A and B are shown apart, each in its own frame.
Chain A
Amino acid sequence: VSAVAGTEDLLRELAPQVLGALVRRYGHFDACEDAVQEALLAASQQWPREGTPDNPRGWLITVASRRLTDQLRSEEARRRREETVYALETDHDAEVPDADDTLTLLFMCCHPELSPPSQVALTLRAVGGLTTAQIASAFLVPEATMAQRISRAKQRIKATGATFQLPPDAERSDRLRVVLQVLYLIFNEGYTATSGPELQRVELATEAIRLTRMMRRLLPQDGEVAGLLALMLLTDSRRAARTRADGTLVPLAEQDRGSWDRAAIAEGVELITETLARSTIGPYQLQAAIAAIHSEAPSADETDWLQILALYRVLERLAPNPMVTLNHAVALAMVEGPRAGLDLLATLDDDNRVAKHHRLDAVRAHLQEMAGDHAAARASYRAAARRTTSLPERRYLESKAARLPDQAAEPGT
């Protein structure tokens, strides 16, 4: 590991702790967040050159505090706040464990008043320690656009009057659900990234796993946190196998299982097994359990679809949503045959959350192909190809349509 990369990792780890300490001491989440970014930037330039200080966390807190007071001092119109800062500056007694601070920060960045893109951006910056430029390039928008989004998010948090405290117990589980959603959103954004300009992107999937690991250290007893981490590990283990060198997508059934990441699978399987045994069941745990069954199958043909089907039935009861029904239909088709799957899919035709979604057409195409109805499958693949907004998915769906054998060659088989 180079000095620069080592510094980068250390800074990203310390970022939420430093910000937490600052906000706790001075208030002003908005201004503290800017000051911490400046301190991180200064450290990223100085440390690789001059060596890491003995107390890196203390160094960052000192530099960030100085930036913060400079900033507040320069704002003449905010004289009163400045006095408050000086008054608070001497109050070093209120030291609270970093773990609580990081958790409080996560809850704050994933405030339900913010839109999901704002929650994601703010979490990556304030908790992940990424720069605005890195986040902007990850989401392929100009830096100014991302800077505005982050600053708007911070303003909105200020407007809600949120204080730097953990949410009250009554709201805790709802708020935690939002945090997990945001982490999963970050993961999926990274996981779906493939070739081309995306190669330049910050590894969002890796970052999401890092943040979820951190979350798990903070809340070791929570089954859904563990479930989400297991789901990410198991999904990410297929990363190398899910695209070819030219960027085309490889469906699960055709992936080279030899290139799956065995260490990630072992960790994910162990985590979900251990969690299922002790914790109240939840949607992330169920999805992780399904992913684990795929991961453990030696080949696509040897997949335990009966067990997957049973898990989808539970998931459908626990957290019904049309995307779950789509996957449920695939499992049902694998167990009871394509017609059963197609019948279940038909129940989604009037569901306007998914009726025009390309994945409905894509799954239907797949099951029609399984049933030997190639003309219908071709039409469904083409409909899905028209509807998707993803270039690799469109290429994949078009090639599926083109490669289907002619219907006339094998009628009724």
Chain B
Amino acid sequence: MKYLLMITVNPDILAAMSAGERRAVEAGHEAFAGPLRESGELVGFAALADPSNSTTVAVRDGVPAVTDGPYAQAKEFLAGFYVVDCESAERAGELAALIPDARLTAIEVRPVMVESGLEM
């Protein structure tokens, strides 16, 4: 079963961190991904650029409108994600707790939909 582990960041918390603390978080990601890769549970991951780099595209009446900036105007933003393939929701939760950002903000764990289904 695949899960998306979403790393949400709060810019205020980020701004208040010292360079050393930031390095510790980065090192924490490497420490997190290594064993996960080894266990065969890591499917993919990415760190995302700051949302000030985003453009948002919407199509209305067939006409695309492009605006600068993120779609959702929330203070917290998605800073990165891991996709893991693991045995259970409990295991996905355990993994989320190992992500360093879980100590700063929170990690959202969401199942990935599958293209197969059972007859009812």
A interface list, Cβ under 8 A from B: 115-118, 121, 139-142, 144-152, 192-198, 238, 242, 247, 249-252, 255, 359, 362, 366, 388-394, 396-397
List, in ascending order, chain A residues with CB within 8 A of B117's CB. 192, 194, 249, 388, 390-393, 396
B113 near A146 with CB under 8 A, answer no
Cα distance, A76 to B99, chains bound together (Å)? 39
A148 near B113 with CB under 8 A, answer no
Minimum C-beta distance from A369 to chain B (A): 12
Which 3 residue pairs are nearest across A and B when measured between Cβ atoms?
A: A149-B40, A148-B40, A392-B117
A389 near B112 with CB under 8 A, answer yes
Cα distance, A195 to B38, chains bound together (Å)? 31
Residue with the greatest number of chain B CB neighbours at <10 A, chosen from A144, A359, A389, A394: A389
B119 near A242 with CB under 8 A, answer yes
Nearest-CB residue, chain B, relative to A149:
B40
Q: When each residue 107-118 of chain B gets 1 if its CB lies under 8 Å from chain A and 0 otherwise, what string results? A: 000011111111
Residue B39 is within 8 A (CB to CB) of chain A in the complex: yes
Cα distance, A196 to B111, chains bound together (Å)? 19
Cα distance, A198 to B113, chains bound together (Å)? 13
Cα distance, A326 to B28, chains bound together (Å)? 44
List, in ascending order, chain A residues with CB within 8 A of B87's CB. 115-117
Cα distance, A359 to B117, chains bound together (Å)? 11
A392 near B116 with CB under 8 A, answer yes
Of the candidates B2, B85, B114, B120, the one whose C-beta lies within 8 Å of that of A391 is: B114
List, in ascending order, chain A residues with CB within 8 A of B85's CB. 117, 139, 141, 145
Of the candidates A145, A389, A396, the one whose C-beta lies within 8 Å of that of B113 is: A389
Interface residues on B, range: 20 to 34
B116 near A142 with CB under 8 A, answer no
Minimum C-beta distance from B110 to chain A (A): 9
List, in ascending order, chain A residues with CB within 8 A of B118's CB. 192, 249, 359, 390, 393
A150 near B120 with CB under 8 A, answer no
B120 near A193 with CB under 8 A, answer no
- Do A249 and B120 form a contact, CB below 8 Å, given A117-B87, A198-B115, A389-B112? yes
Cα distance, A247 to B119, chains bound together (Å)? 12
List, in ascending order, chain B residues with CB within 8 A of A197's CB. 115
List, in ascending order, chain B residues with CB within 8 A of A149's CB. 39-41
List, in ascending order, chain B residues with CB within 8 A of A392's CB. 115-117
Cα distance, A194 to B113, chains bound together (Å)? 13
Residue with the greatest number of chain B CB neighbours at <10 A, chosen from A117, A141, A194: A141
A390 near B43 with CB under 8 A, answer no
A142 near B43 with CB under 8 A, answer yes
Known: A144-B37, A197-B115, A389-B111. 4 other contacts (CB 8 A): A150-B40, A152-B40, A198-B116, A397-B120
Nearest-CB residue, chain A, relative to B85:
A141
Cα distance, A409 to B25, chains bound together (Å)? 60
Nearest-CB residue, chain A, relative to B120:
A251
